Chains A and B, each alone.
Chain A
């Protein structure tokens, strides 16, 4: 961008008047704001005693889960779009031909390194079949690094744990039509 670009609109801040230049109102304004907050109600939640209730779990970005489809199988089609979108390179997928007649491809293994993850939600955005989602579980902890590398079973278990509290984002979408195995139509 050049400074003399005609498309740039230069905005000038309004000059400060003599009363403003005494800085008294600014000075007192800052002070009163501080004092107001000093005596106002505190918003801290004492964590282990009381838990945070996520007002909208759909927009919270916590631990991942792998959704199941209607028949309880993993919904993921192993398209690698989440691992491609992942800025932290924390998703590792091994794809294989699916054992089910209505699907072509499925993840033989699906691993997320939760320690490496930055919880940006890009995987969720990228997923074409809404198979990976971020839940509102935030108090993730473990005793070892290995424990924090979630494999497919663990991610599906997260889904089983949270599916009642947090429905799938696209619960309303019709299931994919069964695969046409006949000859030329």
Chain B
């Protein structure tokens, strides 16, 4: 029973935290967007009925209220059951992923309760052996949300938006998996907690050891969360709004929150798999037995890292142009898939013979691994440059010589 309540409390905490975080990160994103465009951003909504503006911190409440009180319009031509089901599937899948994602390491104390002899692990479903595969499975279900809402809307723009989105998500699951496989190979486990503690114990975060895998996972994570420059599903500036063209009100809110949650998932996974999770050198220690301050510090470190990643997501949105759809698919299948396989093969070979080589050369094992990793990245990058089709430079020309060549 205690286990039951513990899990319930964790779930409640997690959902409340995620929803609040989503609401406020929307505000942060709007601020970032505004600042990058030399604007000020939302700074008006504060305490209602007063002149207190609080830098616009009341904006999320106003946004949420607007979503709830807006007319929820259901077009007459939709397939009703699936139209309602689509957003629900999306939100459920996006939330269910967090069952295996740790948001800290452990809490040491027993709260004076006799049954809680063991430290509380800060993850909803601790010890899920197939944790990473679970993430994949649930992410796969999220595709249905897009596909169904697109099809049920009975609108060709929505349908094509849904298919676009689904094709992108399905395609980028492969490089995502290949990027992870290296980490799993090194850690020897699919459990995210184990992966973190493995990095903490070795002291070397995975992005230092296998940068190629990190790059692949990072890019695929962007694509999976459907953020710019991979937001082909929506392309709000160019195409009709994608699969949620026909949605409004709370259902639209559900879709948008689940898109935000995908970004959280991607950020959490990036931090946990490649940036050492809660670990920070000299601050958090690496053992499983912790004191209260350390346990809280670990949570703070993990969430701080995640926040930084999310901020990077937000800045990236305004930094680089969007891909074309064929480029998007080409990147997944022609570039990242082979590179992911290369990364995997190199790592597998290194795992088998690495220690011997390190001993032979006299380097420490970690340094040698890092060297191999960065070497692989360099080779892969050069190969991409070499094999890439000839591209033209369409930046504005400055040199008159080039102008002449143009003619």
Contacts and interface: CB of A to CB of B under 8 A. Distances in A.
Is B truly associated with A?
yes
Given A30-B319, A38-B315, A14 B38 contact: no
B393 A15 contact: yes
B32 interface: yes
Interface residues of A, number: 27
Nearest to A25: B395
B38 A13 contact: no
Interface in A1-59: 9, 11-16, 18, 20-22, 26-27, 30-31, 33-35, 37-44, 46
A30 B393 CA distance: 15
Interface string B309-336: 0000001101110000000000000000
Interface stretch (B131-139, B150-158, B168-176, B384-392): B384-392
B35 A38 contact: yes
Contact of B406 (A11, A20, A21, A39): A11
Interface in B365-407: 381, 385-386, 388, 390-395, 397, 402, 405-407
Nearest to B391: A16
Contacts, number: 69
A20 B35 contact: no
B237 interface: no
Nearest to A22: B385
A21 B391 contact: yes
Contacts of B77: none
B319 A37 contact: no
Contacts of A44: 34, 38-40
A21 B392 contact: no
A15 B390 contact: yes
A37 B34 CA distance: 10
B36 A34 contact: yes
B364 interface: no
B393 A16 contact: yes
Contacts of A12: 392, 406
B315 A35 contact: yes
Contacts of B406: 11-14
B38 A42 contact: yes
A17 B258 CA distance: 41
B50 interface: no
Interface of B: 32, 34-40, 315-316, 318-320, 381, 385-386, 388, 390-395, 397, 402, 405-407
Q: Which 8 A-B pairs have the closest CB atoms?
A: A13-B392, A30-B319, A44-B40, A34-B319, A16-B391, A21-B385, A16-B393, A43-B38
